[in-house]
Each structure stands twice: as structure tokens, then as C-alpha cells.
Amino acid sequence: MPATALEPISLSPRVVVFDYGEVISRPPGDADRTALLRRAGVPVEAPAEAAFWAAYWRHRAALDQGTSSIARYWADVAVEIGADWSPVDVHELWAIDHRSWLSVDPGTLGVLHALHEGGTRLALLSNAGEDFSGWLRSGSFAPLFERVFVSGELNLVKPDAAIYEHVMAALGIEPDRFVFIDNKAENVEGAIAVGGEGHVFVDAASLESWLRSLAP
């Protein structure tokens, strides 16, 4: 059933900056997670499954900061869980993992379009490896954003103050015009710490309500 367009949201002169993962995108589903575990040769049961996901997230920061390559990332995960993956295995693990982050949330996209229709400036700031830059800059939603900032290209990650300061400088705005949306409280707190406003994303409906409360 076609989605109903929302009424425009006009927040000018503020600029609303969105996170990508689990805000614009949906989180990987059970089928995605199971496919990755099976290709990795990890039993889909505790404690092996828990050990895999712990390693998966523990080494992610270096990948997102651009200080680790895709190959190095998977090698680090392999060492931690005692796996022995060939280069071809790694290519497939990367592809399964990458695809799992490409589903989008129609509710959030509706809010983005409402902001865009209201003339609100939009940007995207994602903690992600450089391999996501093409999708984030060239996907169907990309024209909604004035700028796209990918942590792996900047060698900076949220919630470090430096990444928010870089974004504000690039957008030519002062902190009182910076509005940031992220699903992680620590990342929103980082934006607030530099003088911006922020909202911890839970769902599109509460996000829309909060944004409309900011409208003059």
C-alpha cells in the first residue's frame, strides 16, 4: 500500500543531520544474521553466536574510523573467535554483512521527505567504513542530503567532538543551528556537548513529533 506523504516540516535556519544505521536503515534481520553466522561457520547458538557478535562489534570502531581495512577487520574477528577464513571467505562475509545494512525504514524516509519539502537543510553523518560511501552518496535517498559525511573517510568517529565540529564547519553553521538524530544516546550526547540539539531515535513517529515541536 502506498505511503501517505507527511505535511512539510520547516525548521530553517536549522540543519538536521541524520545518522544512517538503524535510523534511516533497518537493523539486520534474523535471516541476515543467520546467513552471516552460517557463512562464517559459527553455530547459531550460544556461546559461539555470542562470541562472534562480541568480536564483530569490538573491532568495528577501527573499521568505521578508517584505521582498519575490510580484510584486517575480518582477520581480527577471526583471531578472536578462532576461525580460519580464506580471502574468498572474507569477500563473501563482507558482501553478506554489507547487504544486511541496506534495508531502509519507510517511516524515517517519510520524515526526511517532509523536512525536504519544508525547505529544511539536511545532511547525513554515519559511523561507517569507506565501502558504504557509494551507497550513502548515490542511493535513491542521496539527493535529499546537502552533504554526506562518512567517518571512515574522515578518520573521525562519533561521539568525538571533532567529528561534529567538522560537520558544522563544512555546513557553515553555528552549534545553535545543528540538530542531530541518532539511535545511540552517546552519539546524541556528543552533539549536545558541542552546543547542538539532539534526539535519540526510537521510531519515526516520535521523531516526527519531536521535530515538529522545534518548528517556529
Residue at 149 is within a domain: yes
Considering the domain architecture, whether residues 199 and 131 belong to the same structural domain is answered as yes
pLDDT score at 171:
98
Q: How many angstroms separate the Cα of 47 from the Cα of each of 6, 31, 43, 44, 105?
A: 45, 19, 9, 9, 31
**What is the per-residue pLDDT across 103-162, written as a single tens digit (0 to 9) for each?**
999 999 999 999 999 999 999 999 999 999 999 999 999 999 999 999 999 999 999 999
* Tens-place pLDDT, residues 73-100: 999 999 999 999 999 999 999 999 999 9
Query: Is residue 58 assigned to a domain?
Result: yes
Domain end residue (candidates: 68, 99, 130) = 99
Kindly indicate the confidence band of residue 70, based on its pLDDT and cuts at 50, 70 and 90: very high
Domain that holds residue 200: 15-27+102-214
- Where does 82-132 have alpha helices with state H? 87-99, 106-117
User: Do residues 72 and 173 share a domain?
Assistant: no
Shared-domain flag, residues 193 and 112: yes
* pLDDT tens sequence across 172-212: 999 999 999 999 999 999 999 999 999 999 999 999 999 99
β 147-150/121-126 pair status: parallel
At 1, the pLDDT band (50, 70, 90 cuts) reads: low
pLDDT value of position 29: 96
φ/ψ region of 22 (left if φ > 0, alpha if ψ in -120 to 50, else beta) reads: left
Residue 4 has pLDDT above 80, yes or no: yes
Q: State which H helix or E strand residue 18 sits in.
A: strand 15-18
Look up the pTM and report it. Answer: 0.95
Q: Are residues 127 and 178 in the same domain?
A: yes
Q: How far apart are CA 94 and CA 41, in angstroms?
A: 14
